[in-house]
Amino acid sequence: MNKNIYLHNITKKYGTPLYVYDANKIEYQYKLIKQSFSYIENLKINYACKANTNISILKFLKKLGSGLDTVSIQEIEIGLKAGFKPKEIIYTPNSVSLSEIKKAIKAGVRINIDNLSLLEQIGNDNPNYPIGIRINPHILGGGNKKISVGHIDSKFGISYYQLPHIKKIVENTGIKVEGIHMHTGSDILDIGVFLQGADILLNVASFFNELKYIDFGSGFKVPYKKNDTKTDIDMLGVSLKRKFLFFCEKYCKKLKLFFEPGKFLVSESGSFLVKVNVIKHTTSTVFAGVDSGFNHFIRPMFYDSYHHIDNISNPSGILRFYTVVGYICESDTFCVNRKINEIREGDLLCFRNAGAYCFSMSSNYNSRYRPSEVIIYNNKDFLIRKRENLQDLLNNMIEIEL
């Protein structure tokens, strides 16, 4: 069946706005990265679940063999409910309380620490609990400033210039360091960024004697439009092979190699389907107003991110220029002056690359309900999140008379 017709039928069944995920695409992306780094005997892919925490997606990735990368105690708890074993979950928080880290220790997960103060406190309280250390390599990597997290002014990681301080804390507390971690940003195209970071990370790793893993984070770029660029992970695999295997030989131990892809695994799998409520002409602009807004799909406003938009109701219509906007009582603009096949009221628009950081960043702003989520696998569709209703909005409110 034609994909556009299939998506039309899905909306008849589940309504709009609607997130739809293609599990076959997730599976393809997972196998692609495994193949690119197949030379590593102890390779472990840990899905960065902040991209999309739907428990059905987590369970599917676990079935494929993935571990889990988390950044909050709540993500850990969802991961455990999805069936991941504690040591299959790695927790890399930032600016969290010591009490939250203690909860993670109690859960038994792997932990990467990116703060000298917390490293010292954990070392004093739990010296026998093995931890990893997140290093800031001072590399400006990523598609834009908002998603670059490894530069010198970033809040993430411990500066590699502070290695002597790290070593002093380790010596003073006796804490066991089992891993070294790095993540420089998202949407990294230049594999030289990864290789530069690898040199720094492996150099830091050489100062610790009981390591079990080296964690290179992720940040692989996916294409957002036709003929768009993407990270050449096959070339990265070839280039990183020599560095990593040489280090392991010198270290006299076969270490585990971790990657933490999020967007790379789920972004392209996702479609966000909306219905056109109104076409509005002004003196210079044609607006297509849809039944959604930044409460459901904030990335274009928050990150200035590009998402290709198709009119799946009229794919062969004449190309015209539209500014697609939402129904929120703010400026929620998905695209400006974009060439799209002629849009009519009632048409269905499909926002591509909607699998990562879309539903997971949604809200109930303007007291709007969050949408349903559906997953497709081998041409069968399954509802994996119900559409919210009024009771969902009221559930945690306490009604009083003043």
Residues belonging to the binding site are 219, 299, 303, 330, 357
Q: Residue 296 and residue 334: Cα distance in Å, rounded?
A: 11
Give the whole-angstrom CA distance, residue 46 versus residue 48: 6
Q: Which two tokens stand for residue 81?
A: 């409910």
The first and second tokens of residue 247, run together, are: 């280090």
Instruction: Sort strands 286-290 and 18-22 into parallel, antiparallel or unpaired.
Output: unpaired
Known binding-site residue numbers for pyridoxal 5'-phosphate: 219, 357
Q: Which two tokens stand for residue 216?
A: 């290179």
Burial class, 73, CB count within 10 angstroms (exposed 0-12 / middle 13-18 / buried 19+)? buried
Centroid of chain to Cα 22: 16
Q: Is 127 exposed, middle or buried (0-12, 13-18, 19+ CB in 10 A)?
A: middle
Q: Please, where are the H alpha helices in 132-211?
A: 163-173, 191-205
CA neighbor of 19 nearest in space, from 219, 264, 222, 267: 267
Is 252 annotated as catalytic?
A: no
H/E segment holding residue 112: strand 110-113
Six-digit token string for 351? 């926002």
Which residue type, as a one-letter code, is found at position 180? I
SS3 content of the chain, % helix, strand, coil (to 5): 35, 25, 40
* 9 Cβ neighbours under 8 A, 6+ residues apart: none
Q: How distant, in Å, are the alpha carbons of 211, 231, 276, 291, 351 from that of 279?
A: 60, 38, 8, 12, 18
Which element (helix H / strand E) includes 67? strand 67-70
CB 219 within 8 A of CB 206: no
Look at residue 319 and give its three-state secondary structure.
strand
Judged by DSSP in three states, 274 sits in strand
Q: How far apart are the first and last CA of the chain?
A: 59
Contact 50, 71 (CB under 8 A): yes
How is residue 143 annotated by DSSP? S
Choose, from 329, 335, 350, 358, the residue flagged as catalytic: 329
User: From the annotation, which residues make up the binding site for substrate?
Assistant: 299, 303, 330, 357
Indicate which residues carry an active-site annotation.
329
